[in-house]
Structure 1
Amino acid sequence: MSRTPFSRPGPSRRTVLRGLTVAGATVVGFDAGTRSRSASGEARTAGLRGTPRLDGTLVTDDASLTAASDDYGHLVHRRPLAVLRPGSVRDVAAMVRFCARQGIPVAARGQGHSPSGQAQVRGGLVVETAPLAAIGALAPDSATVTVGAGARWSDVVRATLAHGLTPPVFTDYLELSVGGTLSVGGIGGQAHRYGVQVDNVTALRVVTGAGEPVRCSPTRRPDLFHAVLAGLGQCGIIVEATLRLVRAPRTVRHYLLTYDDLGTYVEDQRALVEEDRFDYVGGQVFADARGMFRTYMMEVVAYGPPAGPEPDDAALLRGLRHDPARAQIADLDYYAFLDRIAPAVAALKESGAWTFAHPWLNLLLPGDHAAELSAPVLDALTPATLGPGVIQLYPIRRDRLTSPLFRTPDDPVPYLFDVLGAVPPDDTAAVGRALATNRAAYEAAAAVGGTQYPVGCVPFDRADWRTQFGSAWPQLAAAKRTYDPHGILTPGQGIF
């Protein structure tokens, strides 16, 4: 094995689209001096007459509405009535109350990462959370930090690293909003050790569907707290979150280990997370020289001081059945590791592939069935059908998960299986084939207890959602009735 600069074959890791910022928007507001509606702020639709005074702006121009009717998937387009760019949490509460009275649906939008219209709302209000991006001072005990829902994880970790601390779990792409990932779960390669991102939240500030700003935690309004984390926006809009912090390493040792057999790869990954040997365990699947997706690359990381001891290669790699001749080992700055896909993202944007359609498949598979369920999907793929995308397959530990709405198989070590394909946006036939493949893969997984990780494009109906939430469905339904009594929040998910 050789110690080399960090590199890897094949396409980049998971990619996402940051939200669009549209200039020259028409503003619906009030003149600060007269407290009357300004001439330039006349609502362009009758449904918005009588809107409350705002610290921020309500925009209705064509460019803003068009931007809000698209997302990273470029598959679904629902045009809203207006977009709120809040100047305060008070703005969010006031506009949600207004919409509740009028029966206008509402959805929150962070960085526009949703691939299937989940944060879109036809004829309703889109609340952009990006302005709510404040990062507070660390708590006196340095165990937590409170941040706005629109803060990007990249900004959060830079702020906490100044104190030698870090949130424990990250998605691979750091330019996502805190509120966005907490609404779905937030899986990363550290999840086998710390749980997913929602398992590392100690308190929330939420605007309910009735327009009530509420603070909640595991001991204060716990029903709301647990209905919002991984609750897909059904019971409240996250406006602020208090995040748990742990000691950050200065550097990490990064290993890329190559396998040619899927079963061996899966078994070795499972052993590593059961033994808690590494701080990060991930992995990807690549096409081999014949164009078959049968090259498996495990990505594992050990944190150095002060978060852990100096990594010992021999001890960490003992017993693993990878090909030693192809192993790559590098020491990386901690932030450089977290932000390692940034160059690939820049290349995708420069090439134009960033604007492709993204009919993604995201599943959580029972560990005992991970190889048998993923193999037929991989065998049916070609580099052409995947496009400039990526495939991920790696385990987490169920005993580290505490959020009831983050649904996983009833298996000690479930596996995340992502086929993050990219298709030219005008190739509707290819999109249709991908969605049909996604549905078939989900049905095979569900038959043995698998679930969807709901950030992708698996066609779902309401019965599917009941199956997805399983024993947690009554809890979610009760919270929906209590905290969104008018049923206006996040209809794009199609749950209620």
Structure 2
Amino acid sequence: MGTGPSRRTFLLSLAGAAVVTGFDPATQAWATTADPAHQFAKLPHLDGKLVLPPADLAPYADDFGHIIHRTPLAVLLPRSVRDIATLIRFAGPLGISVAPRGQGHQTYGQAQVKAGVVIDLSSLDKITVDASAKTATAQAGALWHSVLTASVADGLTPPVFTDYIELSIGGTLSAGGFGGASSHFGAQVDTVKSLEVVTGTGAIVNCSATRNADLFDAALAGLGQFGVITSATLNLVPAPQMVRQYTLTYPTEPAFTAAQRKVVADGRFNWLEGQLIPVAPSGWTYALEGAVHYESANPPNDASVLAGLSFVGAPQIQNFTYTDFINQLAPAVAFLKQTGEWFDPHPWINLLLPDDKVDAYMQRVLANLTATDLGASGLVLLYPVPKAKLTRPFLRTPDTDLVFLFSLLRTATPDTDALTVQQALARNRALYDSAVAVGATQYPIGSIPNLTKADWVRQYGKQWPRFAALKKRYDPFTIMTPGQGIFRQ
């Protein structure tokens, strides 16, 4: 089912609510009037546009999750980084919240803001490749698909891609960015050479591991709490010509994760993920998905690649060009958009599980999880990443040498049955609580309701004092990205 009249009517009714004249930082409330424009009458000149008509704000009161709906007061369509700095400098002393938005692929309102300003970064999408330096510099609104196209033309590629590559550079670098190559290169935030950031004070700052390093550390996987990533210089690696993907089936979860540990340790796959597939009437099949890069004149030896992996049945083997492999979700996404399932609610949860607890935890989860719980197009992913590859301090992980990314990607029934969404959210909260109890952390792109400050303090652990101190330094007015619910609850 697509974006039906009930959702459109709901969003438009939100967007058509009374507009405001002034903001009271003490009460975090706006005084209403028929004319919102005068609130921004003293906003300095912009190269771009500040959008105020309520009907034009409706898309920004929604996201890929289709669960949370917060209507902004305005949307900035910047034509320059200077526009972003101007807006933030204006908004800070007034206590007006600001949220950067790339593709809106969040699932629980993380990039939404009630009665504040959303910065739509999609217009800032320039990409330049420096083949000699093996880097690409991309503005925050550029898509990873576009970076792939630009860099492959020079025989280069970013080391890590998420499975879905129509995401923005700024969006994934604010969160982390996991993918099948994370077992070799870490998350996308671990492949960044430098950043340009507009802080919560409106300062435009260039930073790297050796220049303004505290802001570099804060912005990468910082969930937009310290400012807006406006540009990133990414390290590139040589792009292979071809990819051979192997799908191996395992009968039990412990056998599946044991095989994953083995191939992470020996590094035989350039790309590694894993999927858990429900089997009717109950039960699960476990599919290890590994891939090897090669040149067409020198294909891999399958027997050598698969030696000692003790899978059951025959392996599935597919060959792709490199770009087709990285973008292999495109046909499925096109189908989901055609059927409308792409526009249904997505109460996802993403957790990072400690290696020594993953098997027991997953077996408890799977004992109470069915295909019905996933929805028509839901997925369960589980794959390991060496902790040593994850170098960014605010991408929080369990304290084991190997961590497992567990993604429960539900698609709920359409909004004619809101109870199903609420049930999924309640189950997500229970999954989160039981995971934290065994030393897990969340990968904060999903839908976990009722997160408290205590939850966030636990998430950041020993890094919390630094996180809070950098927040005060770079966002002293506490206006940045309130939808995460870390400092404004």
TM-score if structure 2 supplies the norm length? 0.90
Question: What code does the residue aligned with 1:316 have?
Answer: V
For 1:132 and 1:61, how far apart are their aligned partners in 2?
22
Matches within 5 A, 1:416-455: 416-423=405-412, 424-455=414-445
Match of 2:251 among 254, 257, 260: 260
- Tell me the residue number matched to 2:301: 312
- Tell me the residue number matched to 1:372: 360
The question of 1:354 aligning with 2:342 is answered: yes
- Tell me the residue number matched to 1:288: 279
Q: Is the 8 A contact 1:118 1:492 kept in 2?
A: yes
For 1:368 and 1:45, how far apart are their aligned partners in 2?
56
Matches within 5 A, 1:18-57: 44-57=36-49
| 1:46 Cα deviation from its structure 2 partner | 3.5
| 1:43 Cα deviation from its structure 2 partner | 6.9
- Tell me the residue number matched to 1:5: none
Cα deviation code 1:284-329 (max 9, x no counterpart): 111113243x1111110001139x974221121111121242x110
- Tell me the residue number matched to 1:408: 397
| 1:466 Cα deviation from its structure 2 partner | 0.6
Match of 1:80 among 61, 72, 86: 72
| 1:426 Cα deviation from its structure 2 partner | 2.9
For 1:309 and 1:273, how far apart are their aligned partners in 2?
23
Cα deviation code 1:242-297 (max 9, x no counterpart): 001000001011111111211100110011111111110001111113243x1111
Q: Is the 8 A contact 1:303 1:309 kept in 2?
A: no
Question: What code does the residue aligned with 1:361 have?
Answer: I
The question of 1:63 aligning with 2:50 is answered: no
Q: Is the 8 A contact 2:353 2:403 kept in 1?
A: yes
Question: What code does the residue aligned with 2:290 have?
Answer: V
For 1:285 and 1:454, how far apart are their aligned partners in 2?
21
Is the partner of 1:146 in helix, strand or coil? strand
More deviation in 219-228 or 379-388? 379-388
Deviating above 4 A after TM superposition, structure 1's stretches of 4 or more consecutive aligned residues are none
- Unaligned 5+ segments in structure 2 are 1-11, 13-33
Match of 1:302 among 274, 292, 295: 292
- Tell me the residue number matched to 1:338: 326
| 1:422 Cα deviation from its structure 2 partner | 0.8
Question: What code does the residue aligned with 1:367 have?
Answer: D
Q: Is the 8 A contact 1:45 1:81 kept in 2?
A: no
- Tell me the residue number matched to 1:173: 164
Match of 1:138 among 130, 144, 149: 130
Q: Is the 8 A contact 2:187 2:390 kept in 1?
A: yes
Matched length:
453
- Tell me the residue number matched to 1:128: 120
Q: Is the 8 A contact 2:47 2:78 kept in 1?
A: yes
For 1:322 and 1:63, how far apart are their aligned partners in 2?
55
| 1:209 Cα deviation from its structure 2 partner | 0.4
- Unaligned 5+ segments in structure 1 are 1-21, 23-41
For 1:43 and 1:296, how far apart are their aligned partners in 2?
57
Match of 1:394 among 368, 372, 383: 383
For 1:377 and 1:354, how far apart are their aligned partners in 2?
25
Cα deviation code 1:18-70 (max 9, x no counterpart): xxxx9xxxxxxxxxxxxxxxxxxx97344222122111111112232111011
Match of 1:201 among 152, 176, 192: 192
| 1:228 Cα deviation from its structure 2 partner | 0.5
Q: Is the 8 A contact 2:129 2:135 kept in 1?
A: no
Question: What code does the residue aligned with 2:393 have?
Answer: P
More deviation in 214-223 or 422-431? 422-431
For 2:223 and 2:299, how far apart are their aligned partners in 1?
40
Is the partner of 1:187 in helix, strand or coil? coil
Is the partner of 2:103 in helix, strand or coil? coil
- Tell me the residue number matched to 2:217: 226
Cα RMSD (Å): 1.7
For 2:72 and 2:40, how far apart are their aligned partners in 1?
12
More deviation in 347-356 or 54-63? 54-63
Cα deviation code 1:134-166 (max 9, x no counterpart): 001315x33211110000000001000000000
- Tell me the residue number matched to 2:30: none
Q: Is the 8 A contact 1:227 1:475 kept in 2?
A: no
Cα deviation code 1:100-145 (max 9, x no counterpart): 1221000000000010000000000000111110001315x33211
